[in-house]
Amino acid sequence: MEIVDWNKKELEKLYVNVFILEEEVYVRKSEQIKKQKMYIFIGLNLKGYKEILGLYTPEEENTGYWLRSFSDLKKRGIEEIFMVSMINNKWLKKVFKMHYPKTIYAPSLIEFYNKTHQYIARKQHRVIMREIGRIYRAKEKKEGAQIYNQLIKDYEDNKLLVMIINKYIEEIFAMFRYSQQARKITANTDSYNKMRNRIRWKLKKIRLFDSVCELQLKTLEILKEEEMKWHPSYKKWDIIINEMDCELAERIYEMI
């Protein structure tokens, strides 16, 4: 399949979760070198497969841009998204709610990773990501709160790090209204971080793109290559669905 056709391929009706990766690269525009934001949507379907849903490179980011982008996703087949690991983007949040009003907004641990890694040594950062993951996947909120309190105590001298943790912790604790299995789906970020690092490494070899069109083409080639490597998750999705909240289960069974 040609890269243009692959980028417009038909999508499934339903995705359990959507992960959003946000990156910045350098592009030549009108003889000037400028930073260009880039968003990659990755969907997780009921069979446990990850799939590239779209690549977005807004030259001017606003509500209109995302309205057009989401209309395209709907035309390609997506009727329902249960959860999204949402990044802090006001236009994206607004349009997501307009097109998929029932979607559950989970905090993005990938975004948390990006916000915190610069404030602490790499080895300790892995420990923090592990503990945040433990909080998110805890069976009960009380268990998660105990892990959080110990984490804050251990790193109380790092004021910036503690501030970022506290910014995200309320959103994480809000997710305890949903089942542990639902939280486990959105907390699984290791494979996405590894994929993001591979994409970054390949893009950095180019260093500078002569146009947004060149950026799109090169990135789509990388994403297609990544998608071909993915294998289905070993999770037992039928069990996960049954253990989810009634609202989620009913919405799934309406679609299948």
Candidate from 45-49, 95-99, 249-253 with smallest mean pLDDT? 249-253
Residue 90 has pLDDT above 80, yes or no: yes
For domain 3-111+188-255, the question of CATH label 3.30.420 is answered with yes
pLDDT tens readout for residues 161-182? 999 999 899 999 999 988 887 7
Across 46-55, 111-120, 148-157, the highest mean pLDDT is recorded for: 148-157
Give the E-state strand segments of 50-169 in sequence order: 50-56, 80-86, 104-107
pLDDT range class, residue 253, cuts 50, 70, 90: low
- Selection from 87, 133, 98, 104 nearest residue 15 by Cα: 104
Average pLDDT over residues 197-224: 87
Q: How far apart are CA 116 and CA 160, in angstroms?
A: 9
Average pLDDT over residues 47-64: 89
Average pLDDT over residues 179-198: 76
pLDDT range class, residue 47, cuts 50, 70, 90: confident
- Selection from 225, 212, 232 nearest residue 1 by Cα: 225
Q: Coil, strand, or helix at residue 234?
A: coil
- Selection from 203, 188, 196, 186 nearest residue 40 by Cα: 196
Q: How high is the pLDDT of residue 189?
A: 64
Instruction: Name the CA radius of gyration of the chain, rounded.
Output: 19
- Selection from 77, 39, 40, 41 nearest residue 58 by Cα: 39
What is the residue-averaged pLDDT of the chain? 85
CA 184, chain centre distance (Å):
14
Q: How high is the pLDDT of residue 196?
A: 79
> Residues 131, 67: contact at Cβ < 8 Å?
no
This prediction has a pTM of: 0.85
Candidate from 58-62, 63-67, 70-74 with smallest mean pLDDT? 58-62
Q: How far apart are CA 216 and CA 163, in angstroms?
A: 36
- 211 sits in which H/E element: none
Residue 245 has pLDDT above 60, yes or no: no
Residue 42 structure tokens: 């990755």
Residue 74 structure tokens: 């709907």
Residue 158 structure tokens: 């790092």
Q: How high is the pLDDT of residue 75?
A: 94
Residue 123 has pLDDT above 90, yes or no: no
